[in-house]
Amino acid sequence: MPQSILFVCLGNICRSPLAEGAFRTEAERRGLDVEIDSAGTGNWHVGEPPDPRAVAVAQTNGVDIGAQRARQVHPRDFEKHDWIVALDGAVLDDLQAMRPDGARAEVMLFLDHVEGRSGEDVADPYYGQEDGFAVAWTDVTTGAKALADRIEAG
Protein backbone atom coordinates (compact mmCIF):
# COMPACT_ATOMS: atom_id res chain seq x y z
CA MET A 1 0.00 0.00 0.00
CA PRO A 2 1.51 3.36 -0.98
CA GLN A 3 2.28 5.98 1.62
CA SER A 4 0.26 9.18 1.37
CA ILE A 5 1.43 12.77 1.86
CA LEU A 6 -0.60 15.98 1.98
CA PHE A 7 1.22 19.32 1.65
CA VAL A 8 -0.59 22.26 3.28
CA CYS A 9 -0.25 26.04 3.14
CA LEU A 10 -2.83 28.79 3.64
CA GLY A 11 -4.76 29.02 0.36
CA ASN A 12 -3.36 26.10 -1.67
CA ILE A 13 -2.36 28.27 -4.65
CA CYS A 14 1.36 28.97 -4.05
CA ARG A 15 3.55 26.97 -1.69
CA SER A 16 1.64 23.71 -1.32
CA PRO A 17 1.06 23.27 -5.07
CA LEU A 18 4.79 23.92 -5.56
CA ALA A 19 5.60 21.38 -2.84
CA GLU A 20 3.22 18.84 -4.39
CA GLY A 21 4.83 19.31 -7.80
CA ALA A 22 8.39 19.20 -6.49
CA PHE A 23 7.76 16.11 -4.38
CA ARG A 24 5.84 14.33 -7.14
CA THR A 25 8.82 14.90 -9.45
CA GLU A 26 11.32 13.69 -6.84
CA ALA A 27 9.20 10.62 -5.99
CA GLU A 28 8.88 9.68 -9.67
CA ARG A 29 12.62 10.15 -10.19
CA ARG A 30 13.31 7.74 -7.32
CA GLY A 31 10.50 5.31 -8.10
CA LEU A 32 8.76 5.84 -4.76
CA ASP A 33 5.23 4.47 -4.38
CA VAL A 34 3.63 7.54 -2.77
CA GLU A 35 0.26 9.26 -3.12
CA ILE A 36 0.67 13.05 -3.13
CA ASP A 37 -1.86 15.85 -2.68
CA SER A 38 -2.04 19.43 -1.42
CA ALA A 39 -4.59 21.61 0.36
CA GLY A 40 -4.97 24.87 2.24
CA THR A 41 -6.21 25.69 5.71
CA GLY A 42 -8.39 28.46 4.26
CA ASN A 43 -11.20 28.29 1.73
CA TRP A 44 -10.49 31.53 -0.19
CA HIS A 45 -9.31 29.85 -3.40
CA VAL A 46 -11.19 26.52 -3.46
CA GLY A 47 -11.46 25.29 -7.05
CA GLU A 48 -8.92 27.76 -8.42
CA PRO A 49 -5.69 26.82 -10.22
CA PRO A 50 -2.33 27.72 -8.68
CA ASP A 51 -1.15 31.32 -8.82
CA PRO A 52 0.24 32.03 -12.32
CA ARG A 53 3.61 32.93 -10.76
CA ALA A 54 3.78 29.52 -9.08
CA VAL A 55 2.85 27.81 -12.35
CA ALA A 56 5.57 29.80 -14.13
CA VAL A 57 8.37 29.00 -11.68
CA ALA A 58 7.44 25.31 -11.68
CA GLN A 59 7.29 25.28 -15.50
CA THR A 60 10.69 26.99 -15.69
CA ASN A 61 12.00 24.04 -13.67
CA GLY A 62 10.29 21.43 -15.86
CA VAL A 63 7.29 20.72 -13.61
CA ASP A 64 3.67 21.24 -14.66
CA ILE A 65 1.35 22.14 -11.75
CA GLY A 66 -1.27 23.88 -13.90
CA ALA A 67 -3.92 21.16 -13.56
CA GLN A 68 -3.98 21.32 -9.76
CA ARG A 69 -7.01 22.90 -8.11
CA ALA A 70 -7.13 24.41 -4.63
CA ARG A 71 -9.05 22.67 -1.90
CA GLN A 72 -9.39 23.05 1.84
CA VAL A 73 -8.10 20.59 4.43
CA HIS A 74 -10.86 18.32 5.70
CA PRO A 75 -10.93 16.24 8.91
CA ARG A 76 -10.91 13.04 6.80
CA ASP A 77 -7.44 14.05 5.52
CA PHE A 78 -6.07 13.11 8.95
CA GLU A 79 -7.20 9.52 8.37
CA LYS A 80 -6.48 9.31 4.64
CA HIS A 81 -2.85 10.51 4.74
CA ASP A 82 0.18 9.13 6.57
CA TRP A 83 1.86 12.53 6.69
CA ILE A 84 0.43 16.03 6.61
CA VAL A 85 3.23 18.45 5.89
CA ALA A 86 2.84 22.12 6.82
CA LEU A 87 4.71 24.76 4.84
CA ASP A 88 5.00 27.14 7.82
CA GLY A 89 4.65 27.22 11.60
CA ALA A 90 1.27 28.98 11.66
CA VAL A 91 -0.17 26.35 9.33
CA LEU A 92 1.38 23.64 11.51
CA ASP A 93 -0.35 25.12 14.58
CA ASP A 94 -3.67 25.25 12.71
CA LEU A 95 -3.31 21.64 11.57
CA GLN A 96 -2.47 20.43 15.05
CA ALA A 97 -5.52 22.27 16.41
CA MET A 98 -7.86 20.69 13.83
CA ARG A 99 -6.34 17.19 14.04
CA PRO A 100 -9.04 14.84 15.34
CA ASP A 101 -8.20 12.77 18.42
CA GLY A 102 -6.71 9.44 17.43
CA ALA A 103 -6.04 10.47 13.82
CA ARG A 104 -3.32 8.43 12.14
CA ALA A 105 -1.60 11.22 10.19
CA GLU A 106 1.70 12.52 11.48
CA VAL A 107 1.69 16.31 11.23
CA MET A 108 5.05 17.97 10.58
CA LEU A 109 6.82 21.05 9.28
CA PHE A 110 8.28 20.58 5.78
CA LEU A 111 11.73 22.07 6.32
CA ASP A 112 12.24 20.03 9.52
CA HIS A 113 13.46 17.32 7.14
CA VAL A 114 16.29 19.54 5.86
CA GLU A 115 19.49 19.51 7.90
CA GLY A 116 20.03 22.91 9.48
CA ARG A 117 16.54 24.19 8.58
CA SER A 118 14.46 22.71 11.40
CA GLY A 119 11.72 25.09 12.52
CA GLU A 120 12.00 27.26 9.40
CA ASP A 121 9.08 28.26 7.19
CA VAL A 122 8.85 28.19 3.42
CA ALA A 123 8.29 31.93 2.98
CA ASP A 124 4.91 32.88 1.53
CA PRO A 125 5.58 34.56 -1.84
CA TYR A 126 1.95 35.54 -2.52
CA TYR A 127 2.20 39.24 -1.68
CA GLY A 128 5.73 39.68 -3.04
CA GLN A 129 7.43 39.71 -6.40
CA GLU A 130 8.25 36.84 -8.73
CA ASP A 131 11.66 36.31 -7.13
CA GLY A 132 9.84 35.13 -4.00
CA PHE A 133 8.43 32.24 -6.01
CA ALA A 134 11.95 31.23 -7.06
CA VAL A 135 12.99 31.20 -3.40
CA ALA A 136 9.91 29.13 -2.51
CA TRP A 137 10.75 26.71 -5.36
CA THR A 138 14.27 26.26 -4.02
CA ASP A 139 12.88 25.59 -0.53
CA VAL A 140 10.29 23.05 -1.69
CA THR A 141 12.75 21.17 -3.90
CA THR A 142 15.23 21.02 -1.02
CA GLY A 143 12.45 19.80 1.27
CA ALA A 144 11.24 17.28 -1.30
CA LYS A 145 14.68 15.69 -1.56
CA ALA A 146 15.04 15.49 2.22
CA LEU A 147 11.56 14.01 2.69
CA ALA A 148 12.22 11.46 -0.06
CA ASP A 149 15.45 10.53 1.73
CA ARG A 150 13.45 9.92 4.91
CA ILE A 151 10.94 7.73 3.06
CA GLU A 152 13.71 5.73 1.39
CA ALA A 153 15.44 5.23 4.75
CA GLY A 154 12.20 3.81 6.15
Active-site entry in 37, 77, 124, 139:
124
Q: Of the listed 9, 37, 71, 88, which one is catalytic?
A: 9
Residue 111 belongs to domain spanning: 3-153
What pLDDT is recorded for position 97? 97
pLDDT of res. 129: 82
Reply yes or no on whether 9 is catalytic.
yes
* Rounded percentage of the chain residues whose pLDDT exceeds 70: 100
Question: How many domains is the chain built from?
Answer: 1
pLDDT band at 16 (very low <50, low <70, confident <90, very high): very high
Residue 104 among the catalytic residues = no
Over 80: is that where the pLDDT of 1 sits? Answer: no
pLDDT above 80 (res 113) = yes
**Which CATH number is 60's domain given?**
3.40.50.2300
Question: What is the average pLDDT value for the chain, to the nearest integer?
Answer: 96
> Of residues 15, 24, 53, 71, which has the active-site annotation?
15
Evaluate whether 48 touches 69 at the Cβ level (below 8 Å). Answer: yes
Per-residue pLDDT, 79: 96
Q: Is 150 a catalytic residue?
A: no
